[in-house]
Amino acid sequence: MTERAIMPRLAGRVAVITAAGSGMGRASARLFAAEGADVIVTDLDETAANETVELISTEGGSAKARRLDVTDLGCIAQTFREIEREHGVLHVLFNHAGLPGPPGLDVTEADFDKTIAVNLKSGFFMTSFATPLLRKAEGKGSVIFTSSIGGIAGSHLSPVYSAAKGGVVVMMKSLALHLSHDAIRVNAICPGPIDTPMFPAFFSSQPNADPQELVERLMTTIPMGRRGLPQEIASAALFLASDDSSFVTGVALPVDGGFLAR
């Protein structure tokens, strides 16, 4: 008996991923493209975005790079105008952009505002500008946010970061309700410690502390005893982007090696 051909899970779909120039964003862009998506790779670092596109092209996928400052509403609006002109539709928006927050309570207003702007505010406006195109996806629209275990359990390292990522979770749930009548699903991924270039930055800014000691202490709280891989976050994102999760909306999905199960 001849085996039935397996259709790529994102065949014919258009996907936007923010902060896709490295780490989890890059891994997700590569996996989405491998599954048939036409990926718009956005990043503040245009060189890094182009490097992701080059990798995807080498692997036989379809992608285009765009420099995007997710804190600049004019830049966001222009990006979606160009996507509408080139594609006319959007199926997947992955709001992945984020950055570590300043430690403790002795923070400047500028650092506070930047943490909220990148981690929380940007995802709201990205979704707002994307919604008209997502409505054209004929029930295939999916919005994904990257939150954090620190958005559910709280972070002793940075209360500001935890506030922003906790806001992402509740905002995601509200958007899932708000957009349900448009058949647009909205979910979030809550990563634990993931082996990416950004990972050390969560610890290097802590005053009067040994970053390596902080990392070792954190790893004792992970039941699986290791850091996650960017590809493991990408696989979760693919599930939420595809029809495999067609009845899933309003969910904050931990990908954390069991941290939140304790």
Within 13 Å and on the Cβ side, how many CA atoms surround 77? 3
Tell me: pLDDT of 245 over 80: yes
pLDDT tens sequence across 117-170: 999 999 999 999 999 999 999 999 999 999 999 999 988 889 999 999 999 999
For residues 10 and 84, give the distance between their C-alpha atoms in angstroms, rounded to a whole number: 19
Active-site choice (94, 145, 161, 203): 161
pTM of the prediction?
0.94
List the end-to-end C-alpha distance of the chain, in Å, as a whole number.
47
> If pLDDT is split at 50, 70 and 90, which confidence band does 208 have?
low
What are the domain boundaries of the chain?
14-196+229-254
User: Any alpha helices (H) in 65-199, and if so which ranges?
Assistant: 73-86, 109-116, 122-134, 159-179
For residues 69 and 74, give the distance between their C-alpha atoms in angstroms, rounded to a whole number: 9
pLDDT tens sequence across 164-202: 999 999 999 999 999 999 999 999 999 999 998 877 777
What is the DSSP code string of 190-215? EE-SB-STTTTHHHHT-TT--HHHHH
Instruction: Report the CATH architecture of 14-196+229-254.
Output: 3-Layer(aba) Sandwich (3.40)
For residues 65 and 41, give the distance between their C-alpha atoms in angstroms, rounded to a whole number: 5
Q: What is the pLDDT of residue 155?
A: 81
CA nearest neighbour of 191 among 9, 10, 19: 19
Residue type, 60: G
**In Å, what is the CA distance from 79 to each residue of 75, 87, 184?**
6, 12, 20
3 state DSSP class of 102: coil
User: What average pLDDT does the chain have?
Assistant: 94
86 classed as catalytic? no
